[in-house]
Amino acid sequence: NDADILAGDYGYMKPYYERVLALQDGGAQESFNTVTANQLTYQGEFGKQKAAMLPMGSWFVATLIAQQSAGEADDFEWGIAPIPQLDDSTTGTDATPVTFGDPTGFGINANINEDKVDAAKDFLAFAASEEAATDLAEIGITPALLTDPVVEAYFAVEGSPQDELSSFAVQTHETRPENPTSNKTAAVQNILNDMHSAILSESQGVDDAISEAEERVANEVGLD
């Protein structure tokens, strides 16, 4: 709850890392070292039915549909569910599950030729419109705007899941930012990536890796 990577305190991550290490050690998921060394792919694992669940951004939906159509992925039924939640207060179809994401920005180049500004503005307006969202949904891509016509187009795509939970998961969620907007975010993320690799490769214990990351962020980034 209210986790902030710019706060410089990462102790809240410990139970999640302990869970993942237990899943690795128990053989319930591929180890970090295997994933990295063998460059395992979403299609090779989930598309070939070697994984039962894939925590994944919605962008994989269009890829999976295309790969199943082309025979690159196995032909099997699949669906979309809310990602596992912190506690049961946001689980079930009577509640609103929490998810996260980062914005994808559009902008107009400040040095654009003056005679192209109007066209650029028109494109930006279109990109944010229901018409554009519907066009994306019709090819299996999940847009930010999810009005009833957009959702209807999304699930009308041949090969998309048709169950009620998938429809609920796509339409119902509270989306929180994955990364805070700051000129220090990238530097902090680099340090957290080092921590992540050290813990999941089991080259460093969870407590030691978290402490080292906190020290590095304080010394190298200097958060306020």
pLDDT number for residue 93: 94
Angle (CA) 107-179-83 rounded to 5° is 110
Distance from C-alpha of 116 to C-alpha of 27, rounded to nearest angstrom: 56
Distance from C-alpha of 20 to C-alpha of 28, rounded to nearest angstrom: 9
Percent of the residues in the chain that have a pLDDT greater than 90, as a whole number? 77
Give the pLDDT band (50/70/90) at residue 141: confident
By the 8 A CB rule, do 187 and 220 touch? yes
Give the pLDDT band (50/70/90) at residue 221: very high
pLDDT number for residue 123: 93
What pTM was estimated for this model as a whole? 0.83
**Rounded mean pLDDT, 146-151:** 92
Residue 114 makes CB contacts below 8 A (sequence gap 6+) with none
Q: Is the pLDDT confidence value at 202 over 80?
A: yes
Distance from C-alpha of 153 to C-alpha of 61, rounded to nearest angstrom: 14
Give the pLDDT band (50/70/90) at residue 151: very high
Q: Is the pLDDT confidence value at 217 over 90?
A: yes
Q: Is the pLDDT confidence value at 223 over 90?
A: no
User: How big is the chain by its Cα radius of gyration, in Å?
Assistant: 21
**Rounded mean pLDDT, 157-180:** 91
Distance from C-alpha of 216 to C-alpha of 218, rounded to nearest angstrom: 5
pLDDT number for residue 139: 87
Give the Å distances, CA to CA, from 151 to 96, 99, 142, 160.
Answer: 17, 18, 9, 12
Q: What DSSP string describes 2-57?
A: ---GGGS--GGGHHHHHHHHHHHHTTSS--HHHHHHHT--HHHHTTTTS-S-----
Q: Is the pLDDT confidence value at 176 over 90?
A: no
pLDDT number for residue 168: 94
- Is pLDDT larger for residue 169 or for residue 58? 169
pLDDT number for residue 106: 78
Distance from C-alpha of 73 to C-alpha of 57, rounded to nearest angstrom: 18
Mean of pLDDT over the chain? 92
Distance from C-alpha of 11 to C-alpha of 7, rounded to nearest angstrom: 11
Q: What is the pLDDT of residues 185-201, one digit of tens each?
A: 999 999 999 999 999 99
pLDDT number for residue 85: 93
Neighbours of 104 (CB within 10 A): 7
